Amino acid sequence: MGETLQSPRGFHDILPPDIDTFRFVTSTVRDILRLYNFTEIITPIVERVEVFERSIGEATDIVQKEMFVFTDRKGRKLALRPEGTAGVVRAYIQHKLYAQRPYHKLFYEGPMFRYERPQAGRYRQFHQIGAEVFGPAEPLADAELLKIVSDILEALKVEATLEINSLGCAECRPAYREALKGFLEGVSSHLCKDCLERKDRNPLRVLDCKVEGCREATKEAPKMVDFLCQECREHYETLKKLLTEMGVDFRENYNLVRGLDYYTRTVFEAVSPKLGSAVIAGGRYDYLVEQMGGPPTPALGFAVGVERIALVTEAPPLKEKLYFIIPFGDVIPYALKVAQRLREEGKRVEISYRKGGLRKQLEFADKIGADYAVIVGEDEMREGVVTLKDMSTGRQEKVKVV
């Protein structure tokens, strides 16, 4: 035998029973999005690298350090998608979806790739299920999107704090950026190496540095909310009012800036205190469609980190009881008929493929979590019944199935 092959670092298999939680997350989110009339879109896993450079931003960690980039046989530069929004925006423009209706509500699900340092809840291949809304500039759209996030958390029974902030717009952010830069200049001796670089290129990112020294140094930093122009302020205030009216709990976090450059106005994260990180995140990106070559189109969205949120939720047990059929003797056609009938009734059924004594078979039934063992011998076949053994009580009785 050769050496045991391992999956690449940060790339992981999702095995049973974890896959049940994974699917519980995606199906729950899908069901909720359907109630809000979202429809699905599937975009390629690979895009031209510019799709991400022009959206996520050239100065971001994702584009600078975390993308899997490669050239194809014709020398074209391609990248594995690090997130879903950029590809959906590219498709929205390419297929002129904006010409079809005043707004679109789309969702997607699939693997994303980031060359990050792997740790619990952080992988190089991970999955997102995300939603994007194209068209509305109104704060009602932001409020409803956050209501969806809150519905998801509730349906999955995930404890998380919904943090919100406003990053302003092209009108008001430049003045804030300058004020922040000036402030950071003054505290630069306390900043980490990364932040010393960020403070000129991408000063807002300094605000969410996890290094204690940087956190301490930016405590008194100017806040974006104090710089919002009239329109951004009204948008933000209306959003908060709507959330309160809708009963959506939230907390303002003035340091919430997000790791992608396309955001304007509303940004948010659902942060799990257990994990100390975001399980769902998103915001508004009113310039991105235009920036990528489409008509000016306000837009907003979020993505659920499926593996991440799966760490703090649990799939309920399957509703359908499991029946394990144990045939003894020359009864296979009859046993198969029994199996068929039980499945028609919506039960989960396994038939034992192996011959063996009753004790061994029952041990196996127990191991796979069967609710009932269905013993089918020649006597049972003659009488047109089966012996049904309740695995939890041990009680058994003859019942008619076919």
- In the bound complex, what is the minimum distance in angstroms from residue 180's beta carbon to ligand HAM? 21
Q: Sort residue 49 into left (φ over 0), alpha (ψ -120 to 50) or beta.
A: alpha
Shortest distance (Å) from residue 68 CB to ligand HAM: 12
In the complex, what is the shortest distance from the CB of residue 38 to ligand HAM, in angstroms, rounded to a whole number? Answer: 12
Interaction residues for ligand HAM, span 297-336 (CB under 6 A): 301-303, 305, 307-308
Rounded to a whole number of angstroms, the minimum distance from the CB of residue 260 to ligand HAM is 6
Residue placing its CB nearer to ligand HAM in the complex, 260 or 374: 260
In angstroms, the CA 214 to CA 190 distance is 7
Partnered with residue 350 across adjacent β-strands are: 324
Q: Count of CB atoms within 10 A of residue 133's CB? A: 23
Instruction: Find the length of the chain.
Output: 402
Crossing angle of helices 139-155 and 230-246, in 10° steps, is 40
Distance in Å, CB of 18 to ligand HAM, minimum: 14
Q: How far is CA 292 from CA 64, 297, 398, in A?
A: 19, 11, 69
Q: Among 57, 130, 135, 298, which residue interacts with ligand HAM (rule: CB under 6 A)?
A: 130
Q: By CB under 6 A, is residue 57 in contact with ligand HAM?
A: no
The residue nearest ligand HAM at its CB is: 305
Residue from 281, 325, 362, 401 binding ligand HAM (CB under 6 A): 281
- Least distance from C-beta 228 to ligand HAM, angstroms? 20
Task: Tell me: does residue 135 bind ligand HAM (CB under 6 A).
Answer: no
DSSP-derived secondary structure letter, 122: B
279 binds ligand HAM (CB under 6 A): yes
Q: Does 12 bind ligand HAM (CB under 6 A)?
A: no
Residue 126 interacting with ligand HAM (CB under 6 A): yes
Q: How far is the CB of 292 from ligand HAM (least distance, A)?
A: 14
Residues 207-266 binding ligand HAM (CB under 6 A) are 259-260
Question: For residue 223, what are its two tokens?
Answer: 């806040």
Closest CA to 378 of 328, 337, 340, 341: 328
**Residues 71 to 100: which contact ligand HAM by CB under 6 A?**
83-85
Q: Which of 53, 116, 138, 208 binds ligand HAM (CB under 6 A)?
A: 116
**Type of residue found at 269:** E
Do residues 375 and 326 make contact, with C-beta atoms less than 8 angstroms apart?
Answer: yes
Name the strand (E) or helix (H) holding 183.
helix 173-186
N- to C-terminal Cα separation, the chain = 49
CA R_g for the chain:
27
Rounded Cα distance, 33 and 300, in Å: 15
Which residues contact ligand HAM by CB under 6 A?
Answer: 83-85, 114, 116, 121-123, 126, 128, 130, 132, 259-260, 278-283, 301-303, 305, 307-308
